[in-house]
Structures are given as structure tokens and as C-alpha cells.
Structure 1
Amino acid sequence: MTTPFSRRKDVGTARRRGAGHLDEGALGSLSVPEAPYDYGHFSRLAGPAHDPDEDDDLGGGVYRPEPAAHAIPASPPTPASPPTPAPPPVPPTAPYRVRYRSLLRREPHRIRAALLLTAAPVVEAVLLVWLLLPEHWPERLDETNPLVLLGDKVMIGIIAVVELFRLVNVVSNTHATLVARDPVPVTPEPGTRVAFLTTCVPGKEPPEMVRATLVAARAVRHEGPYEVWLLDEGNDPAMQELCAELGVRHFSRAGRPHWNRPKGRFRARSKHGNYNAWLQAHGDDYDFWVSVDTDHVPLPDFCERMLGYFRDPDVAFVVGPQVYGNYRSSGSAVTKFSESQQYLFHALIQRAGNRYGAPMFVGTNNAVRIRALQSIGGLYDSITEDMATGLEFHRSRNPETGERWKSVYTPDVLAVGEGPSSWTDFFSQQLRWSRGTYETLLTQYWRVFWQLSPGRLLNYSLMVGFYPMAALTWLLGGLSSVLYLGFGASGVHVSSELWMMLYSDAAALQLLLYTWNRKHNVSPHEPAGSSGVAGMMMSALCGPIYAASLLQALVRRRSRFEVTPKGRSASTDRLGTFRYHLFWTLVFGGAIAASFVTGYDHVAMRTWAGIALALTLLPVLILAGDAVRRLRTRPTATLTVTGGPAATPKVVLEKRRPRHARDPRAAQHDHPTQHGRPMRHDHPTQHGQPAHPAHPTQHTRAESGTPIH
């Protein structure tokens, strides 16, 4: 059979020589300023790569037979020698299995860790039980209004549910801390056929962004046949020319009805439909695909650090963390806070998934065994196709071994993306991610959960439960504030001082557990030693978004996949951006105002309502702060007159340095561009890898569904 490798030049040899030996004329000239972030170090967080049969500090894990005597031809026996016995049968070599290192076993202060991991859930459980003691229930002996009595019961139920959700969240983080582990990297098997895939949607991705991603993909190293593909939804002639210039293969399903259907695996205008069309057309020509979203740029060792885990025949896919290269250059607090928000998921939750061979599939950057994907029918039809597809993998078995398909999460940062730089794009991202989780729960999870092993069932339940618990906590908190502060419905009667003591202790232990795990952060952008409180705040202020998404899912409001505009098409924040938050501002503000009239002013209820009110206003305040900073640092025009009174004035633009710049060199490092596209600089590190990838500076966000904890 004719394959693309027999039709086209094998670029694998070029990959083995390294990016510097590629066709410079085809790739064009790119240069990037010295990076302020050490991507070379963060691309090796899992440790050095071993040969698959090499002993390491774990000991064992791979069966290796003793050296066989018959492997070396024996000398002819002398007449006095006894006959040489036949060599014993050598057992077949067991297949390689991924090995792991526990994060907790590397903890130097084990006693402190044990105390923290015990105290956090115990104190939260004590608070829950104490609040629900029968002696704390309200007694209204003279009350005859059934609505008031019903309101009391509703309040007790709300308190029980909200505190139970808090306990589950603490247990989830404690569990993840206990079982989190990293895979031991191994070198990939040489000679495998690999396709690098990324997509393009007309009008959504700027051409310079697509170019930067493709150029970086061409520089990825792999010992074997390797080709880069652009999956173009619009069959754009400009994209065809770009692919021809760079030596990239072009694919489009445009104009083919069987690949553009209203729903299903070939759904039109969807990422999974685009990938599934390519899979049907060309999947048989490759062993694996490696893939990034178009607003991500892979590092040169992307394949070297991911493909080795496929030596385990039951590994279906490998995923890595998502980080935002415009962390500083976007000039927006949204970008910084949104990367911090993802810390717990990528630094802890995904690593806990390694314990059960079930980290979640993340579409931003991944490697997939094509045969495994074909065995489950391709990517799943969902607005968060990655989570849904991962669930299909984890409930299915490898037909060749009979074992369950498994996945691997590596903490290595192997691709650098672009985060949301506006509240509009951030809220759109969170709305889609949460809606995708609800759709998975309502249409897929309840039908297949019984096919998961107990460990995977626990892992998935804790992951997919985050969004609905956050949404219900917000909705029930708003309802309880209105019922008590406005109408006097009473849930429990407790001492304000004792409640404040227990509640503050529980909250402090949760915060301590969160910050204690920051040592495992995989972000190359967040400052070392930072608390990550901004990420916690970002998750908290998403409550109105998660609540709106849940209500839309319950009423079956139609959802559709939308590609977030990037670069020059990035969204602008308007008053409507904050419509959900402003609605809840009225709810909590009205409840607090009513309490001064009704006299229902318990400190616990006013405290909760006050915190919620502040969260609803916080995005607007952060937006205003960003605007003030931009005004302080914007270029100023200086009028210079030369050549006498009749001369034409020249306007010279001088850019002010930020007043509180953390790094005085920051202005030099924020990704300047050349000729309208990002500049690239291959800056060698101690590992011999570029410390900074060529990555775009304009696009705004990553495109994959990732539940954030």
C-alpha cells in the first residue's frame, strides 16, 4: 500500500539532526528574544528519560531474563568434555509497564504532612456534624405559618448540602495529595510513524499564529517518520500556500457532506468532527498522533518526552499541563489569574489520576495511540470532546491484551499556549467547560460509570463533581441569604463566636493544604513561592457562571461548540460581559439591605452574603485596575520641533516603564514581533533545549475542556 511516507520525503531524519538542520528556506527566518522563563527546566519535571529496561531508584517493574548462555555460540566441545546440555527455555519478555514515583514519598516533613492531611477533613467534618445537631434546630412553638416552618426546614437542608460539598472538596484535595505521582520517563521506541496535528478555523486564528505553531511543529524531534498536518476547516487558499511554503501537509473536510453532519462524530463546525474526518482519511498511515491547539506552540522535545510511555501497550493517550505564554505580555490580570486557577488541576488532580491509570484527556496538547482511538469510534461528540473521549477510553479494554485502556499525565511542560486576556473570553471558556461537564454527567456518565473500576470511579466522580457542587453552592447560598436576611427563615441556632472559630479553623486548614501543595506547581510563569490565592479567588468568582451553565443544562438549552476569537479578533469586555455577576449583585445587595429593615442580622449570614457580594463586583474592579495600569504605561507623545519655525513637527513616542515592574527587564522580554509575526530565539539551556519556544503573542486562549479545581 502506498503511504504518505513513500510519496513524500521522510522528515524523520531531519528531526534526528535537530531543528537547526531543517530547511531554513522553507521555515523562514524566525528569532525570539531571550525568554524570562526556563521552559527547558519545566519540560523535564518528571525527571530524566530512561531506557525501558534500565534499573532506576524504583527497583523492579520490568521483567528482564538472565543472560542466556545460548545467546553466544559455544566453542566445540573437546573429546573429554561432556555433552553440552541444551539451554533452558527463556520465558518471553513481559511487556513494558509505565512506572511511577509518589510525590508524597519525596516529602521531607512527613509528620507535618500527616497532621495536615488528617486535620483538614476532620475539622470540616466536625463543623458539619456540629451545625446539624438537633439541639441547634429552630423551635417555633407559637408559629402557625406553614411557609415559615417550611423555610426553616429548607434552610437546614441548604446548610447540610453546602457544608457536605465543602467536606467533599477537602476530601478530594486530601485524596489527591496522598496518591499523586509522576510517571518515570522512558525513551520512545524508534521508527514509529507520527503525525503532528493542529487545526485552523477561518477568521478565528490569525495567520501569524498558525505559522508560529506550524514552524515549531516542524522543529519537533522524532526518530522515525514524522509529518505535520494542518486540519483546515475552511480550505483557505492562504493556508494551503502557507503549508506548501513550510512543507506541511494540508487537509480539509470542507465541501464533503459525509464529513459535515448536524450531529455525531462528524459534526460540522466542531473540533472533534474535524479530527475524526482526518482520522478516517489518514489514520491508518500512522501509529500515533501528537496534537496541540492552534494557539499552542510545542517545544522541540514534545515527542521525545511523550511517546516513550506508549511502550506500555495499554496506554491509549498521554497528556501534559496547559500553561499560558502571554502570562506577562497580555497586560491583563485575567491571564495571570486564570493560569493560577488551573494550578490544582494540573499540579495535583491529574497526577492523582496516574494512580488509577486515568488522568483526564486534555485536548490542548496530547499524544494518542491511533489504533486505540479507532477502537472506540473516534473522538466523542461533545462540546468538551476531550473529557468525554477520555471517559470512553477508560471504560473500554484493549482488544489485544484484554486490559483496560489507560492514560498517563506527565507534568512536563511541552507546549506553551495563550490564555484569555479579557473577562469575556475567560467567562466564555468557563461556561463551555462547565457546560461540557454537565452534559457529560447528564448524557454519558450515568450510563457508563458502572463500567469503571472502583478507583477510576472514585477519581472521575471527584473530578466531574467539582462544577455542579460549585454551582449548587452558589445557588443555595443565594437562596439562603434571601430566606434569612429577607424573611427570617432560620436554619440553625448556634453561637456566633463558636461558629466563627470552627469555620475559620476549617477555612484556614483548607487554605494551608492548598498552599502546602504549591511546591508541586508546574507553571513556569508563576513566581516561585507564590501562594496561588489569586487562583482560588478566580474559581470563587466563577460561581455565577457555573450556576448559569447548570441551569441552562437542566432546561436543555441548546449548546454548541464555539471557537474563541484570538489575536486581533479577541473579545472586548462590555457591560453585558458581567450580566450574570450583576444579577447576583442585586440579589446579595438586596438581601443585605433588607436585613437592616427586618432585623435578621446573624453574623454568619451577613458574612456569607457580604463575601458573595464582593465576589460579584470583583471582576469589574479588576477590569478597572487593568485600565488604570494601561493608562499609566501607555505611550506618551512628545512634540519636537526642528529646523526653525516653518519646520514640520515630529511626534516621538516614548513608552513609560511600569511604576512597579517586578523585573526591570520585563519590557524587553514581552514577546516583540518581527514583520507581523512572533520572533523566535533558540536559547540553549543546560539540557541543550531551547529555553523559549517560538510562540504567538496575540491570540487569547486555549481551546480545550479542562475542569478546574
Structure 2
Amino acid sequence: MKPMLSAKPPSRKERVTFRLMILLGLISMFFFWERMLDEGTQSHSLLYGLLMVALGFSCLKILHEWYHYFSITVPKAPASTQVYTVDIFTTFCAGEPYEMIVETLTAIQDISYPHTTYLCDEADDPYLKKVCHQLGVHHITRTEKNDAKAGNINNALKQSSGDLCVILDPDHVPFSHFLDPIVPHFNDPQIGYVQIVQAYKNHDDSLIAKGAAQQTYQFYGPMMMTMNRYGTVPAIGANCTFRRSALESIGGHAAGLAEDMHTSMQLHAKGWKSVYVPAVLARGLVPSTLSAYYKQQLKWSRGVFELLVSTYPRLFKQFTWQQKLHYGVIPLHYASGFVYLINFAIPILALLFGLSPVHIDFAHFGLIALPFISAVILIRHFAQWWVMEDQERGFHVVGGLLMIGTWWVFIVGFVYTIIRKKVPYIPTPKDNREADNWRLNIPNLVVIGLSMVACTYGLYRDWNPYNLIMANFAGLNACILGFTILASREQQFGRVVNHFPWLAELTSSLKTLKINFWLVRRRIYTAVRSTASLLTISLLSWITYISYLGENENWLPSPTNQFRLDPVLSQKLRTISRLFDQEQSTQPVPFTIAPLSITWGNISKSVVPFASLDSIYQLGSIPMITWTPIVNKSDVANPQRATAIVESVLRGDYDADLRRFSQQIIALKRPICLSLVPDIDMNTASFEAKTFRDYWQYVHDYFTRQGVYNAIWVWDLGKANRLNTYFPGKSYVDWISVTNFSAGLSSKLPYRPIDQHPLFRSRIPIVFISSGTISSANNRSEGSVTALTASKSNYPAMNSYLIVHQPGPHKSEAPKSAEIPKLMLLAQPYTDSTSVKPKNFVGSPIGVSYKKGQNWTKSLQAFTQKELMADFEAMKQVGLNTIRRYGPTIYDYNILKAAQSSGLKIQYSYWIPELVNFRQDQARLTTLSQQILSSVNDLKEKETIVSWHLGNAILQKLSQQYAKPELLYQQDAYLSWLRKLVIAIKQIDPARPVTVDVEVNETLAQTIEILHRVIPEIDSYGLLVEGQMTVDQRRIIRQTRLPYFFSSISVSSYAEFRSLKTPVFFPTGRMSNWLTKLVLTALGIIGAGISFPFCSCVSSEREYPYSIHSPR
């Protein structure tokens, strides 16, 4: 006797868990539909409507499935208190295999429970008469062959008398204990029939057989178990045991193509109850060829739709509400054929006509759809605890693909119902033979062909991400239908395999791999089922977070605006925050500064102590020249002498000395701190505040004009009341120093006015300089860290902190690695290479930075070729001849094609991200360079491209992230990377200019000087003018001698440069269409009566480009 496979009822914990998962699934479905039904989501009304129908139907099927998971019930087997007479009927039709029916009859006779067996032979076959005689089976036939299978069964009912009647299909072989778990349920006189599992023994015969079997696993498992609770268990035609009196009450077995469902409806309408016993007590055959499967599905589709339109309305009032829902919804399973057709049609129509069903942010849609899809998968996997066998667990991909490939059969069944066309009742073929079935594949081949044509045409006409998504859907549909076609040719492929030994060996290896993969999948499925509830809760938390974030985009705290004072050497420079992090470590070593005092007398003698400075650098320290406005030490007590020196400096008397000194500073090629007035409280006693500021600014500006790049200008704070009057300005100071801080910062009082000052909330680092050294952990803990901890809590508004220590008398040899490194490119002098003649633009570009579709994943609307061409034509009408486009992007194909067609030129641009550590992120920089160079190589033959542009003023923006001295090393590393990139671009395409962005501010002249000195291959500089141009910006621009163009400037600010025919790119999105049009018309750039639609193409003024390169 084979062991009986049966399902166990869920425990209370499992039931609660399952219901919680379903509840969470409903919540995820709600969020999904909330987004899909949003007013702004709809695009093309027809496609949107079709999409909503398809999604709505799919969600109804999911709800139907979850409804049948909510109350999984396994009926308790009653005690066997009554003996029933049992008749077992099986049928035979001409053409069915003899060996199949003989096997079934033999197995029936082996059933242990007393019974009588009847073969209902429609063919009156002599051979089977003999077999029946040998086995002791009653052989009956009929002459009036009406009502197909139902009529055959009813004929047998008339010739039998058993209390119970078992209907077995001829391919279902029962086990010997078949009746034992069934019969006791009839002790309840209200039970009209008992249904058991339909299990199959040939599911591995072919892909068709596997797919057909997989479609039944969930239904015969947890779904039918739940029907026990709802009173909706249907008769499935095979393996069903009826009470004779129940059948007689409805006039015998009901007729029709779906005679089993019809019989269920009649019995339930009469008030009979049904029971589902989840036990495998017999195994049958599932269709293993496409023709057999299609015949079965057509018969069921036509039969079920017939019941929906004829029997269901007539019996509706006699059903319970659960039965009304059940019998009204079950037939709609076959309406999925229309939904699959819609799914095929949407991408085809979208590609052929350039339409989009929805306006949606695909990234946000993915965040909302992913939890819903995951919930569906997790709930289904959790339900698989209650399938019959382990092999029935999994994703059932083959079954799903096969069902989609049956779409047209379902539709034919519906159409036949509408036109009242009869379908003959033909038993599902049970053999494994199939003639040529190409005609059955014609509908799928037509859809595949249309999908491929739509993909080719749609992408050729308009290559955009929305069309690519639709093309992926169309391609996926083609692959699904292609699978059905390939599965239908499995037998033919088998013959080919047998003909080629190498192919047979490959197939054998694949089968072995498949077996191993099956074992791995089993473990994965078990893990998923075991953690399904936890995963579902996590998903709900995720969608709740995403939804809340979407509605409250500003709920997160604003990021702090702090500098990164990254170390020049890992053990020598430390931010205060890093020192706090290491407070428990053994010995953090802050870097030191070494003060060297000079006077203006030393300057006159051009005395720079190079030997001393080199030794300081070798020890890992940075020298700080404290520069007192006296001639010699005897002048310290003479404030008037200091005032005279300051006035002499302002008159230019010391210019020659300053020139020599500045060149010596440059020659150091390392950072050096300069403090013009080391003790402001003492040395400014006789200075007017304006005189002091002018003095500081004069020296600073002179050094800047001489190209001093490595100076760190340190302004000593002194008393707080001098902060407003003596401070020379943020652009003239790199550090603000606080000396001997350990005695004061532990208290709020000494520096409380400073804490409230805007400078302490600016980007200027506050540098605390202590005298003496930290020579032991004890001194450290008692000294600097205590004071710094206090300062951090007492002065939270300070943005940046840096601790430096002046060296004491103890000296030690520092390791070689501690030496402060030299700057390479910033220190590079002019060479002959700087005489490279820059290439000018062809013509005089007047254009816009065209950003439509730049960040397409965040765009709600499809950016089509039609819209693109309309924009380009509008640009031509207003007199623009060039666009700037950041790339590479998915729209490059469209942009280049449209530009060539319309006659516009393109400045092809690449965005350089500023949030990069140019000293450490070598892998990222290498990837960025490779992407840019690969793009240049791919596009160099495009005639519409007039130049290559590198966007973002990195050299200047680094000062917003780093303070000196790290800033100097970051700029040096950036220049090194940029020079290699520009030279490589020139090698790939020597004909086109290469341009770089720079910001128009007080550092413009020095920035361009450095770039031209280090990278003379740069042909022109793109000036970025933020907002309305100021008087100072005009002056700075007019003093620029190297080739430049306006990379970003407002239309009104460009007015006075119009006569110079300076090339310009206007930023789109910064002003309204009417204002842009008004100003351009006034300037004579465009004519009146011209529309300007492309100005509103983006909402952000920042040019965020593509891929990984955009700062986020």
C-alpha cells in the first residue's frame, strides 16, 4: 500500500501569520493603486484605460487567490460508523489506449473497501468486454449517446444501486485505500459529494505536461481547502464521490462541456454540502501535447462561459452569498485571454504610434510596485506549506507561460459562447503522440511578429527610455509566446537530439545541472516560506517609509555645512571630530605648526630660511611665518614705527621686496602659513581699523597677482570686540586662529560673543593653536582634549575645528612617510607648451543648455522625438544655432538625429562631479575618464558636435569642501586628472575645441591662469555667471585675456556683451517663457511673435547630468 499524502491543517499561529501577511498585501496593493489612479498618472486615454483594465483584472485575480487563502481548513475524518454500498464508474471512448483503461480497472478492483465496478464503454469494445469479464467488472454501454460523459454516467446510474457513486476518469489510477478517507464523511446526511486531490504521474513527460500540472497545484492545495470553510467545494469530474440520492435529486449528473462544475452548481442550489479531502488517493494523466492541452482548455472555456450566461443567473437566488461569489468569479479565469491580449497590444500600439499609457516617475513607481509584487510572491510561497508534495512548490513559471500562450483559446471559447457555436465533447487525448501543430501556433506567431515589427519601428523612429521600456515588454511578450511554440515542438527537438550525439550529451549535462538546481531551489523556497511573514512586514515598513517620504520631502534634517579638513598625511592632520572619535585610543598625534618670526627688515634682505623650512616639512609640520610690521626687534616698543611701515607698504614702497619674497614662497612647493599680524591686540593698537584692513588686503592681493598659490593666510582673532572692525574679509582669510585656547574654551564666557558671530557659522575654519606639546597620553587627556570637548559643547555653531600644536623643546626624528609632500602641478611654471594656440568655435554659438530628458527616471512625461523636433524648430525660429547637451544619455541618438535634421550644432558636455576625493577616489575617477573617452571616441564622427565641454567649476568649488592645506592637494590632484583627460580627448579628436567651466568671482583670473599654465590644451573657458551680473563681475570678465564664452548667464546680463558676439549658452528654466522672449526680442536676438517652449524644460537651475556623474 502506498502511503497516503495529505495536508495538515494550519496551526493557530500559522493562520494568524497568514492573515497578517494578506492584510499587509492589501495595504501594499492600496499604495500601488493610489499611485496608479493619481490624476497626473494618465497619459494617452486609450492606452491608460487598457492598462487599468489589465491591472485591475490581475489584482482581482490576486484578491480571489488571497480570499481562498484566508481560512484554510482540513476537515477532520469522522469515525466510520456506517457501511455504504459503493459503485465506481469509469468511462471509455473509442481511440483511448487499452493499456491505460486496463491499468485503471485493475487498480479499481484492488480497492480494499467493498464496491462494485462499472466500465461505461461508449465504444462497446469487444476486447474490453473480455477484460471486464476477466476482472469481474460490469461492462455497460448505451445506444442513445446523448449528453456525452454526463449521459454515459447517468446510464450507469440507472443500472446500479449503490449508496455512493465514485466517478473516475479512465486515466486516474486509484490506490487500494482510495475509499477509506472518503466514505466516513457521508455519515453527515447533508453531504452530497466528497472531492479529493487530482494528482498526476506524467508531469515530467514534457514541458506542456509540467505547465498544465503546475496550473493546478495551488488550486488543489490551499485554495480548495479554504472552500471547505466557504461551502463552495466544486466537483472536479475525476476522483469525486457522490451520494446517489443527491444526484437523483437533480435528475442525475448534469450535462455540458463543464459537466462537473454544472453538477456542483445544481447540488449546491439544492442545499447539498460538499467536502474537500486534501489527500492524494489516485494519480492520473495531464495533457502532454499542445493539441491535447488546447482541446481541454477550449472545452472548459466554452463550458464555463456557458454556465455563466445560462445556468448561473437561473440558480443565483438559491446560492449562499459565498456560492454566488464563487460561481460568478470562477468563470472569469478564462476571461484572462482578453487581458493577455491587452498586455500584448499596449506595447505594440505605444511603439507604433509613439504613445505612452502613463506619466510616471519610474523610480518611484518601482519603489511602490516592488513591495506589492513581493507581497504577492511571498504570500503564494507561504501558501505552499499546504500543497500536497514538495515538487509542487516553486514559482510555477512553466505553468504561467503556458497559460499566457493559451490566450487565444480562451477568447475562442468566449466567442463561441456569444455566437452559440457548439464544441463537441471529446475526451482529452491521453497518448503522447502529436501530429504537426504549426497551425495551433499561428496566433502566437502573429503576436510575436507584430511585437518585433513594433520594436524595430518604434526604436528606429524614437529611441527614448519609454519606448525602450515598451520594447522590453513587447520583447518579453514575444519570448513568452515563443516558449509556448518551442514547448509544442519538444518532440521534434527530441528527434534532433537523438540524431546528434554531441547534442544528446549536452542535453544530458543540462539535465544534471537542472537536478542540482532543483535541490538548491528547494532550500531557497523553504527559506522564503520560513521568513515570508518577516519579509512581508519589512516590505510594509518600506512602503510606509517611501510613501511618507514622498509626501514629506523636507522632513529629513538639512545636511550640515561643514568643511572636510582631510589629512595631508594620515597621522599628521586631524579634524577635531576625528580627534573626538579617537579619544579612547592610545596616542593620537595632531599635526604641528612651527612658527618662524620675520620682520620687514628681513623682507628687505630677502631672507627666507629655506634650510629651516625644509627641516620643518621633513618632520611632518607646516611652518607658519609670523610677520610683524616692524623693521627690527627694537621697534617692538615703538607703535609709530609699525604704522609707518604699514603706510609704506600701502604706497608700494615694498613692492620689489614683496615680489622677491613671493617668488621664494612659490618655490617652496608646499603649504606655508602666513600671519601678517600675529598679535592683533598688541600690534593694532595704533592702527585705524580701515588702515589695518587695507594693509592686509594689499599684501594678500599682491601675492595673488604674483601667483602665490600655497599660502595659508592666518588671521589671529585676538579680542572679540575687534572681530567686526579689523577682519579683512572672508576672501582674504584661510584660517582664523585662536591662541592658547585650553584656558578659555572650557568656559562659555570668554568667547561667547564670537560664538554668536556669523563668521563662526561660515566656512572659515577656526584653528585652535596651543603652545607646548602633547608628549603623553596623560597630558593629552588633561589638556587639549578636555578643552576641545568643552568647546564642542559650548560652541556648537562653529562649523570647522582644527587643533595644531606648536612644538616644544623635545624633538625626534619623524619617519620618512611623515614628510609634507610637494605640490606638483600647482607649482608648475610656464613652459613652451603654454604657447599652444587655442581652437576657436566654428561661427558664433548662441544657444541654450537643453536639459529635457536629462534625468529621465524622475520625469513623469515621455520625452518623444516629436516634442524634440518641435523644440529644435522653435530654437531655429528665435535665432539660436547651438545647444549644450550633457551626456552620454539615453537620448543621444534622438538628439543627434534631430540636430542633424534641423541644422543645429551641439556642444557635447560631460559633468564632472564635485563630491569626489581627487586624491583617494582613483577607481571612480578612472571609471569616469573611461566613460568620457569612450563617449568621445563613439561620437567623434558626428558632424553636429562642435566642441567637447567639461562642466562644473571644480577647481573653485573644491574650496567649498576642503580647507587649506588639504585644499591645495585636492586641487593638485584634480589638475593632474583633468590634464590627462584633456590630453586624451585631444588625442582622440584633435580637431574640436575642448572647453572647461569656471565661475566668475574674485578667483577667476587666478583660476584661469592656473588652468592655462597647467593645461594649455584647454581651448576656451566657459564663464558661469550666477544671478544678475554685478559691476565687479563685469570688470573681472573684461580683464580676461584668454578665449572665453558664457557657459551660463542670464539673458539680461548678456546684453552688453552682445556687440562683442561672445558665444553664449543661456540656461533654460530660469525665467518664464514670456520674460525670456521679451528680453531676447529687446536685444534683437529674436523676432517678435515667436514662441519659446523649450525654456520650461526643467524646473531646476542646476545642470545635473547623467549616470553616476551627477552630484546627488
Tell me the equivalent position of 1:354. Answer: 228
Matches within 5 A, 1:340-489: 340-396=214-270, 404-468=271-335, 470-489=336-355
* AA partner of residue 443 (structure 2): Y
Q: Does 1:567 align with 2:431?
A: yes
Q: 1:491 aligns with which of 344, 357, 376?
A: 357
Q: 2:117 aligns with which of 228, 232, 235?
A: 228
CA drift at 1:594? 3.4
Tell me the equivalent position of 2:414. Answer: 550
Q: Does 1:186 align with 2:78?
A: yes
- In the alignment, the residues of structure 1 paired with residue 172 and residue 192 of structure 2 have an alpha-carbon distance, to the nearest angstrom, of 22
| SS in structure 2 at match of 1:538 | helix
Asked if structure 1 preserves the Cα contact closer than 8 Å seen for 2:72 and 2:223, the reply is yes
Q: 1:389 to 1:603 in 2, by over 3 A?
A: farther
Asked if structure 1 preserves the Cα contact closer than 8 Å seen for 2:91 and 2:122, the reply is yes
Tell me the equivalent position of 2:479. Answer: 614
Tell me the equivalent position of 1:213. Answer: 104
Q: 1:324 to 1:457 in 2, by over 3 A?
A: same
Tell me the equivalent position of 1:590. Answer: 453
- In the alignment, the residues of structure 2 paired with residue 517 and residue 342 of structure 1 have an alpha-carbon distance, to the nearest angstrom, of 14
- In the alignment, the residues of structure 1 paired with residue 507 and residue 52 of structure 2 have an alpha-carbon distance, to the nearest angstrom, of 52
Tell me the equivalent position of 2:470. Answer: 605
* AA partner of residue 540 (structure 1): I
Asked if structure 2 preserves the Cα contact closer than 8 Å seen for 1:197 and 1:289, the reply is yes
Which whole-Å deviations, capped at 9, do the CAs of 1:580-625 have from their partners, x for residues lacking one?
3222223333332332255384455334323222211112233556
* AA partner of residue 271 (structure 1): K
- In the alignment, the residues of structure 1 paired with residue 362 and residue 172 of structure 2 have an alpha-carbon distance, to the nearest angstrom, of 50
Tell me the equivalent position of 1:263. Answer: none
- In the alignment, the residues of structure 2 paired with residue 336 and residue 159 of structure 1 have an alpha-carbon distance, to the nearest angstrom, of 30
- In the alignment, the residues of structure 2 paired with residue 506 and residue 477 of structure 1 have an alpha-carbon distance, to the nearest angstrom, of 19
Which whole-Å deviations, capped at 9, do the CAs of 1:628-668 have from their partners, x for residues lacking one?
566557899xxxxxxxxxxxxxxxxx999944556999xxx
Tell me the equivalent position of 2:703. Answer: none
CA drift at 1:528? 7.1
Tell me the equivalent position of 1:292. Answer: 168
Q: 1:273 aligns with which of 143, 151, 158?
A: 151
* AA partner of residue 134 (structure 2): E
- In the alignment, the residues of structure 1 paired with residue 62 and residue 424 of structure 2 have an alpha-carbon distance, to the nearest angstrom, of 33
* AA partner of residue 459 (structure 2): F
| SS in structure 2 at match of 1:230 | strand
CA drift at 1:251? 0.7
Asked if structure 2 preserves the Cα contact closer than 8 Å seen for 1:201 and 1:233, the reply is yes
Q: TM-score normalised to the size of structure 1?
A: 0.67
Matches within 5 A, 1:55-70: none
Q: Does 1:253 align with 2:142?
A: yes
* AA partner of residue 244 (structure 1): H
Q: 1:508 aligns with which of 340, 352, 374?
A: 374
Tell me the equivalent position of 1:313. Answer: 189
Which whole-Å deviations, capped at 9, do the CAs of 1:472-526 have from their partners, x for residues lacking one?
2112223333432222444331122223333333222212222221221114xx5
CA drift at 1:444? 1.6
Greater CA drift, 574-583 or 354-363: 574-583
Asked if structure 1 preserves the Cα contact closer than 8 Å seen for 2:73 and 2:225, the reply is yes
Q: Does 1:107 align with 2:14?
A: yes
Tell me the equivalent position of 2:980. Answer: none
Which whole-Å deviations, capped at 9, do the CAs of 1:353-406 have from their partners, x for residues lacking one?
11122211111211000110110112222111001111111111xxxxxxx211
- In the alignment, the residues of structure 2 paired with residue 588 and residue 552 of structure 1 have an alpha-carbon distance, to the nearest angstrom, of 27
CA drift at 1:533? 3.3
- In the alignment, the residues of structure 1 paired with residue 51 and residue 293 of structure 2 have an alpha-carbon distance, to the nearest angstrom, of 30
Q: 1:306 to 1:580 in 2, by over 3 A?
A: farther
- In the alignment, the residues of structure 2 paired with residue 163 and residue 137 of structure 1 have an alpha-carbon distance, to the nearest angstrom, of 14
* AA partner of residue 398 (structure 2): A
- In the alignment, the residues of structure 2 paired with residue 532 and residue 597 of structure 1 have an alpha-carbon distance, to the nearest angstrom, of 36
Asked if structure 2 preserves the Cα contact closer than 8 Å seen for 1:319 and 1:367, the reply is yes
| SS in structure 2 at match of 1:545 | helix
Q: Does 1:303 align with 2:179?
A: yes
Matches within 5 A, 1:625-636: 628=493, 632=497
Q: Give the alignment's Cα RMSD to 1 decimal.
A: 3.0
Tell me the equivalent position of 2:130. Answer: 241
Asked if structure 2 preserves the Cα contact closer than 8 Å seen for 1:121 and 1:167, the reply is no
Q: 1:132 aligns with which of 12, 31, 37?
A: 37
* AA partner of residue 464 (structure 1): P
Q: TM-score normalised to the size of structure 2?
A: 0.44
- In the alignment, the residues of structure 2 paired with residue 611 and residue 104 of structure 1 have an alpha-carbon distance, to the nearest angstrom, of 41
Asked if structure 1 preserves the Cα contact closer than 8 Å seen for 2:287 and 2:429, the reply is no
Tell me the equivalent position of 1:161. Answer: 53
- In the alignment, the residues of structure 1 paired with residue 293 and residue 473 of structure 2 have an alpha-carbon distance, to the nearest angstrom, of 25
Matches within 5 A, 1:168-179: 168-179=60-71
Which whole-Å deviations, capped at 9, do the CAs of 1:121-170 have from their partners, x for residues lacking one?
322232223222222234xxxxxxxxxxxxx3322322222221122122
Asked if structure 1 preserves the Cα contact closer than 8 Å seen for 2:312 and 2:327, the reply is no
| SS in structure 2 at match of 1:443 | helix
Percent identical among aligned pairs is 24
Asked if structure 1 preserves the Cα contact closer than 8 Å seen for 2:82 and 2:184, the reply is no
Tell me the equivalent position of 2:844. Answer: none
Unaligned runs of 5+ in 1: 1-18, 20-38, 47-100, 139-151, 261-265, 397-403, 637-653, 666-709
Q: 1:246 to 1:616 in 2, by over 3 A?
A: same
Asked if structure 2 preserves the Cα contact closer than 8 Å seen for 1:483 and 1:489, the reply is yes
Which whole-Å deviations, capped at 9, do the CAs of 1:515-551 have from their partners, x for residues lacking one?
221221114xx53754433333333333333233323
Which whole-Å deviations, capped at 9, do the CAs of 1:297-343 have from their partners, x for residues lacking one?
11111111111111111111111111211234x3x122222212211
Q: 1:583 to 1:288 in 2, by over 3 A?
A: same
* AA partner of residue 408 (structure 1): V
Unaligned runs of 5+ in 2: 516-1112
Q: 1:479 to 1:635 in 2, by over 3 A?
A: closer
- In the alignment, the residues of structure 2 paired with residue 663 and residue 304 of structure 1 have an alpha-carbon distance, to the nearest angstrom, of 41
Asked if structure 1 preserves the Cα contact closer than 8 Å seen for 2:458 and 2:467, the reply is no
Asked if structure 2 preserves the Cα contact closer than 8 Å seen for 1:545 and 1:580, the reply is no
- In the alignment, the residues of structure 2 paired with residue 497 and residue 656 of structure 1 have an alpha-carbon distance, to the nearest angstrom, of 41
* AA partner of residue 103 (structure 2): A
- In the alignment, the residues of structure 1 paired with residue 491 and residue 198 of structure 2 have an alpha-carbon distance, to the nearest angstrom, of 24
Asked if structure 1 preserves the Cα contact closer than 8 Å seen for 2:82 and 2:187, the reply is no
| SS in structure 1 at match of 2:3 | helix
- In the alignment, the residues of structure 1 paired with residue 333 and residue 41 of structure 2 have an alpha-carbon distance, to the nearest angstrom, of 29
| SS in structure 1 at match of 2:481 | helix
* AA partner of residue 277 (structure 1): N
- In the alignment, the residues of structure 2 paired with residue 156 and residue 273 of structure 1 have an alpha-carbon distance, to the nearest angstrom, of 48
Which whole-Å deviations, capped at 9, do the CAs of 1:64-119 have from their partners, x for residues lacking one?
xxxxxxxxxxxxxxxxxxxxxxxxxxxxxxxxxxxxx5x363628x44x3443123
* AA partner of residue 409 (structure 2): I
* AA partner of residue 213 (structure 1): T
Q: 1:289 to 1:543 in 2, by over 3 A?
A: same
Please identify the structure whose Cα radius of gyration is greater.
Answer: 2
Q: 1:612 to 1:231 in 2, by over 3 A?
A: same
